[in-house]
Chains A and B, each alone.
Chain A
Amino acid sequence: MPNPLLIAPAATAPCRYMMLRYRLARLLRQLGVEATDGPRAIVDALAARIGCEIDIDDQHQFGVPGYFGVTVITPASEYVIFVQAHTSREHQTHIVMHEIAHIMLGTTDQASAALFRGTHRTGDYSNFQERDAEFVARTITGWTSAALDARLPVQTDERIARLARSLEDRIAWS
């Protein structure tokens, strides 16, 4: 298991979530993705950064109440994210972001003792690891939706698009 890319502050640290948001923004900038690129680009950038595959299976039928999503680390150290099939695409994307947050925070191992080597989203936030992962997922999804809502007309030429980006206001992490 590699070192976590995103280190959550101590549970009692003042301004804990502000610091976590700041660190998350820095990580996303380092990953080289724009908020308007969408969640799939974040998954791909993270996979490239940690140097392994992150596969998503969005056709898994988990019983309810229970898991919405599960991350499993294969013997080849690749990640497979299983997502509840019986929900909307938007909800599935959020579940994937929650699992991605666990990978960023390096909190996939802790869940392994119970069931398997991986982690899961159940919607229960009584422990800090789940709460932090959900905070990261909600922050990313909130940023991406705000950035997409405020998006200006897309430039057809890549050079012109770069010029436009240099003049645009900063929304989300970029």
Chain B
Amino acid sequence: MWHEGRCLVVGAFSTSLEDSLKTQRSGDITGGCFLVFLGLVTLFAASKITGGLEERLPPRTLPYAVGVIILICGALLAIRSWRFHGIDPVIKWPDRRGTIRVLITLASLGVYLALMDPLGLPLSTFLYVSFTVWYLGKYRLWYPLLIGVLSGGISYLVFIYLLELSFPVGPFLTR
């Protein structure tokens, strides 16, 4: 029962999120409300800035100004959109398949970055490129692996060997 309740809440939340960003008008209203929240957070964070209060332009002045601009523009956007009743274009969000592709692409980027330090630039590049080429193109395995090897090899040759930049090399290679 708890599981069903949780699904209902998640379903209701995702449905209401989907509805709030379905069209340009609803997206602008939601965006405006988010910006009001962001403006308030900025103002709060700016109030925590200490030091330099004796300066002609204290350090918190510009953050305050930016916070106020975001808050006012967000409120105006939300109100203006709420009052608008003309043609309301639909926003082209991805379908379920597209959403999964985007999320997996982002996740693979994060994994690439996380692996760069322990495995080194060449090896992490090889793994990332091989996986992404295979996943996006659905090629036979040898082709993504070949592209991956070339990418990893060139990254090592150019950035580590020739230019001697401070990229992580990893445990299996040397400078």
Whether A and B are associated in the same complex: the answer reads: no
